[in-house]
């Protein structure tokens, strides 16, 4: 037991070897610029995400409205009724592949 006590007594406790006061240690200009860039990029990402979510919601509302119009214009025997106010509208929209696609910009 005396050898363990002698080893523990002989082991010095670590002391701080820094000569610079902790108050003078700062990230500096580079740290400020890095944090500012991260903040700006975060704000831009939030704005872009909000636009995409809003665009997706509007497209879903329009899709539901178009489907409701298509159901309302269908006759009792299952054939679609032709409207005279917009003759080529449904044919042009039926050929669109990007009706629910959110990859286009605009």
Note the pLDDT tens digit of each residue in 42-100. Answer: 999 999 999 999 999 999 999 999 999 988 887 545 565 555 555 455 545 555 555 55
pTM: 0.46
Domain edges within the chain: 28-70
Taking alpha carbons only, the member of 70, 55, 68, 47 closest to residue 100 is: 55
Residues 6+ apart with CB under 8 A from 98: 104
pLDDT band at residue 14 under the 50/70/90 scheme = low
18-46 pLDDT tens trace: 677 766 778 888 999 999 999 999 999 99
Neighbours of 55 (CB within 10 A): 14
């Amino acid at each position: 037991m005396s050898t363990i006590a002698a080893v523990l007594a002989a082991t010095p406790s670590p002391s701080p070897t820094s000569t610079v006061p902790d108050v003078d240690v700062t990230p500096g200009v580079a740290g400020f610029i890095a944090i500012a860039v991260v903040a700006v990029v975060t704000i831009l990402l939030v704005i872009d995400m909000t636009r995409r979510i809003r665009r997706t919601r509007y497209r879903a509302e329009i899709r539901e409205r178009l489907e409701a119009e298509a159901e309302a214009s269908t006759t009792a025997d299952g054939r679609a009724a032709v409207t005279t106010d917009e003759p080529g509208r449904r044919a042009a929209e039926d050929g669109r592949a990007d009706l629910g696609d959110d990859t286009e910009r605009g």
